[in-house]
Structure 1
């Protein structure tokens, strides 16, 4: 909504009696009510309920015994440190590795960028289980990586690349890199290139321009990427469980053990509080330094924000580091300029950017592609280079009632939860995008809270609530849970579409005598339909690939595809899993290209 729209709305409101003006503003915010009620019942209430178990005993009296035990028990403390260490290293690797990809995409021609982004999004849309399974094939003792190292003579015996910290960081970085890229890219695309050209005109070298002009403008995107990756990594358990060892046990795995094996609700609740507190600290720090509105495409106006002592210290520290790196790179550049011909030196920057881009994209794409040949092996062992060709494992998948019923359940739950999230999220997005009201940042924080709260906390909270409502193991319960997880993505996607919508079309329809509902049905919704379809696909994929909540809310005869894959992976790695992973890869690739088509249609509209 443009400032002129806001101004005209506020002028119209000032011309009304105060009560009527307040009623009109309240009516504009009514579309938020269904989503807020939905989140209050199925998100905030169960999360508060499960967290309260850590502070109150069975008699309802306040107690600090659970926290005392958590901090005094060396096991819990060590697991907490391991969780922070793995999440921290994953964040550093993902942001550093994702930056050159985002930089190359931001500076590419628009038509080339649209094609290249697909190759970054492909692993992002691919199931976490599929990607982890691919790394299990590649990093095993007889995997492709060890075979290559042995063939090159780098090692004499197979290296230990799995069931340790190395395998965990490789798998988690591979999972988080696309998220880091797609978070930094929108910020980099808005950077004004005239500033760099002006600095070059004044005599600044390329290294100084990059570090002192370009990098500071990228900091909102870098900070957002670091926050999203770190918070997401805190709640990981798939990759550490399958690629890590006992020393890589993360807090989420301990919470699952406390619930599923020991039925120790107070301990699980206490650990959930610690995990949630860590996420909130990171989230609040990001809001204070950068601004929450930047996550939804808004600007980060630090001049209007309170600047604390810590903010000044971090700002000075960041400037010192950036200036130091700028001077270092400038010195290296001066040496290279003397050693290389002028033409070669000018092309060095572009060539290095392209090489880094190709290396990271290859790291993202190649592991998943190794699953495909493994699915056609005629033998009983999973091999990246099978001897022969057979469709026996695909036949086994389609002949198995376990796999077909799990796939059908995932499809039904994905479509239903996507529809619920689309309706609730679209209504809220209209209210958020087209209205300015006190507490808008807080309202956005409420909507985005399912993204901030670790998914294991949501899973345990809903399991505790559903056990009383008898919704565990039901389609309805899982649809509601997945809708809670998918709603933030729908709101963000639809808000981005509405930000570019020309509201003069609605005004013209009103002048011609159309009512609000008629305008919405015949003008607004048809124009933004591609964006709505894209939001629905995002919600569907979120549900279809979800495992954490499904681990707690499914069971018996009701399984989803990720839950079925997880159960098989824990028992034995077999070619059937490779066949299922290949089918999922084909499905997600098709959905990705379909989403890209919708996105381009929305852009043309």
Structure 2
């Protein structure tokens, strides 16, 4: 065999467990979906489901609603998040970490918690309407939920931190000296911003828009609880087809449409921007074909040349805007707090009385405690498994020849790109034959599939900064592989490993889509139990459970920062 081929095989060796795992529990379920959508009850090929979709006006309306909601969510998330990401990119590392922590706590807070909070804020007996009524602004009126307005508020609120976090790394890599040089040569601050900074930050903006759009395609929690029937999205039809109609081929066809849409959008993104931007890198732009866009950006910059764009003048405004966004992101958490301590059996604002009865309902309920312990256990195993798989895959990614890096990275990111509802339906088909529906191991497998891409991105970024000369020196001096791992790799990489474990744990602890299909109604996780209660009746116990989840997520997000401060204080 050629030496280059053997070198590639050796580089791939650490990723073999991860590749096998994804091949079995990601690729097979996706193939299962495509196969089920084109087979009839006798196993013969048919296009009946796609013909049904093509002739169904309701489906096209739902598909248009799905794409329009996802597109508007991506647009508003990027527009609102861009100033925040730009502001954070100009801060010192220590101050930036504090801001990021306050942005990530609302982001990692459960979608169910945030949706429940927005119901409390936007409903007819909620915060906004109650305050407006107390101030005499309205006597009676229409609630803000269910409505498209409520869905968009909930969606943008949920996706805004994702947009900020994806734009920030590339903005931080922009060489600000180029802007200073342009201003020295006579360009106004606004012209240098639009013609230099914005094009260089463009891949980050595109990456944020892509991830927000594709993530939004598979949403069903927010539109189901905050929207009216006119805001139904495709994922809701999938759940209805399985849970109510028991029509698996129709659900598979719906999932296949979402899958194809996501793949096409991803391929277009890779063609225009480049896959590397998803990991915080940017590729050099072609020198040809960019003249007209540069001219347009310079013209836009000149239109804004009358505005004060110097850093000293901009910082206070950007800081106030950043505080406003953080306050908006924290609003649902703030609203849940008093409701959890109400004495009333009904939801109202302001809460009536003060009581711990709803925490007692949570703490001493066998149903709630079983679901909580299951979520905690599944999340712990998921974090360990996905981190183990992801570290090996990331290590292979840094050692592969450049021509293999792109397809390999694309494969590892696939569970992140494919809408979550598609993965859930595919696993349901596979697990139903393996007798894994309604088992904890099935939940762990499903959650691990979703968590691996996040671990790979985190660890790949860390490994690219690792100085491999230290490993070479230790090997030359006779250190074994285990000794090098214990004395060199782990001490240097421990921060990134902890971040990967933290991220995987939170993803699993908050996950609902996989749980709906894989739990089988027998092994409810905490989010699944909350979902069932919200569908039946929204009650104050949910506020108490939501507050507990907020506290757990906040501690997990803040723990690395607190550990770093304690370590610095000791030193």
* TM superposition score normalised by structure 1: 0.90
Distance 2:291 2:243 in 1: 48
Following superposition, the deviation at residue 166 of structure 1 comes to 0.2
Aligned to 1:112: 95
Deviation string for 1:432-487 (max 9, x for gaps)? 12333532110111111000111111111111111111110001111111111111
Aligned to 1:12: none
Aligned to 2:357: 392
> Contact 1:531–1:602 (CA<8 Å) still a contact in 2?
no
Q: 2:540 aligns with which of 575, 591, 603?
A: 575
Deviation string for 1:123-147 (max 9, x for gaps)? 1111111111110100111211123
Distance 1:473 1:251 in 2: 25
Task: Please say if 1:146 is aligned against 2:121.
Answer: no
Q: 2:244 aligns with which of 258, 261, 272?
A: 261
> Contact 2:170–2:282 (CA<8 Å) still a contact in 1?
no
Distance 2:316 2:124 in 1: 35
Distance 2:552 2:386 in 1: 21
> Contact 1:530–1:599 (CA<8 Å) still a contact in 2?
no
Distance 1:437 1:88 in 2: 33
Aligned to 1:586: 551
Distance 2:17 2:106 in 1: 34
Aligned to 1:237: 220
Distance 1:266 1:346 in 2: 58
> Contact 2:259–2:422 (CA<8 Å) still a contact in 1?
yes
Following superposition, the deviation at residue 488 of structure 1 comes to 0.8
Aligned to 1:328: 303
Following superposition, the deviation at residue 302 of structure 1 comes to 3.8
Are residues 82 and 406 of structure 1, via their aligned partners in 2, closer, same or farther at CA, if it must alter by over 3 Å? same
> Contact 1:371–1:384 (CA<8 Å) still a contact in 2?
no
Aligned to 1:531: 496
Coordinate RMSD, CA, aligned: 2.4
Are residues 316 and 279 of structure 1, via their aligned partners in 2, closer, same or farther at CA, if it must alter by over 3 Å? farther
Equivalent positions of 1:509-548 (< 5 A) are: 509-548=474-513
Deviation string for 1:190-215 (max 9, x for gaps)? 11111111121122222222222221
Aligned to 1:372: 337
> Contact 1:413–1:475 (CA<8 Å) still a contact in 2?
yes
Distance 2:446 2:311 in 1: 54
- SS of 2:346 mapped into structure 1: coil
- SS of 2:478 mapped into structure 1: coil
Are residues 564 and 87 of structure 1, via their aligned partners in 2, closer, same or farther at CA, if it must alter by over 3 Å? same
Are residues 194 and 595 of structure 1, via their aligned partners in 2, closer, same or farther at CA, if it must alter by over 3 Å? same
Distance 1:439 1:195 in 2: 33
Number of equivalenced pairs: 570
Aligned to 1:49: 32
Are residues 261 and 444 of structure 1, via their aligned partners in 2, closer, same or farther at CA, if it must alter by over 3 Å? same
Following superposition, the deviation at residue 61 of structure 1 comes to 3.8
* TM superposition score normalised by structure 2: 0.95
Q: 1:489 aligns with which of 454, 463, 479?
A: 454
Following superposition, the deviation at residue 297 of structure 1 comes to 3.2
Equivalent positions of 1:82-481 (< 5 A) are: 82-151=65-134, 154-303=137-286, 319=294, 322-331=297-306, 333=307, 348-481=313-446
- Give the 4+ runs in structure 1 shifted more than 6 A: 598-605
Distance 1:243 1:196 in 2: 44
- SS of 2:305 mapped into structure 1: helix
Distance 2:509 2:135 in 1: 41
Unaligned runs of 5+ in 2: none
Distance 2:196 2:514 in 1: 44
Distance 1:318 1:141 in 2: 48
Equivalent positions of 1:550-565 (< 5 A) are: 550-565=515-530
Distance 1:363 1:29 in 2: 45
Distance 1:243 1:472 in 2: 29
Unaligned runs of 5+ in 1: 1-17, 338-343
